[in-house]
Amino acid sequence: MLNIALIAHDRKKEEMVNFVTAYEQVFQKHKLYATGTTGTKIMEATGLNVHRFMSGPLGGDQQIGALVAKNEMDLLIFLRDPLMAQPHEPDIIALLRLCDVQGIPCATNIATAEMLVKSLDRGDFAWRELVHKYKPEVSE
């Protein structure tokens, strides 16, 4: 079971819901996380359980980023709206940078998201299980 984060800008939320609905049988095998409204919309449209963080502009991106920084997130699907300025753009860039630092597969559009989910369904992400297996325990 992998940890998957789902984030979508306002004009991409319907696309995210349709995408998750189409691949519900794949997503149901994993633990899902999302920013507030996106997670709510996904849960309303599917039978999936989604751990919801705050809305992106209110810190949800950063909450997911904290899991990415600790290498506890295995896949990020962030459907961004490239035609709309976002007031929390620095948070978005920081989240994407953290994915690069930790080597977390990340999709920012529906085409790449579909490729990653099909790879997930084939079992191509089994290497992430090794990341969890050999990750040193950190006491908090």
Domain-located, residue 78:
yes
Q: Please pick, among 61, 74, 121, 124, the residue that the annotation labels catalytic.
A: 61
Beta-bridge mates of residue 3: 31
- Identify whether 39 is part of a domain: yes
Asked if residue 138 belongs to a domain, the reply is: no
pLDDT in tens, the chain (140 residues): 899 999 999 999 999 999 999 999 999 999 999 999 999 999 999 999 999 999 888 888 899 999 999 999 999 999 998 888 777 787 888 999 999 999 999 999 999 999 999 999 998 888 787 776 666 555 44
Tell me the whole-structure pTM to 2 decimals.
0.89
For the stretch 121-139, what's the b/e string if a residue is b when 16 or more beta carbons lie within 10 angstroms of its beta carbon? eeeebeebeebeeeeeeee
Q: Is residue 139 included in any domain, yes or no?
A: no
The radius of gyration of the chain from alpha carbons, rounded to an integer in Å, stands at: 14
Percent composition of the chain: helix, strand, coil (DSSP 3-state, to 5)? 55, 15, 35
In a domain, 25, yes or no: yes
**Total structural domains within the chain:** 1
Residue 110's domain spans which residues?
3-133
In order of 25, 90, 105, the CA distances from 100 in angstroms are 28, 15, 8
**Known catalytic residue: 121?**
no
Tell me which residue of 69, 71, 79 sits closest to 34, measured CA to CA.
79
CATH number, domain of 94, equals 3.40.50.1380
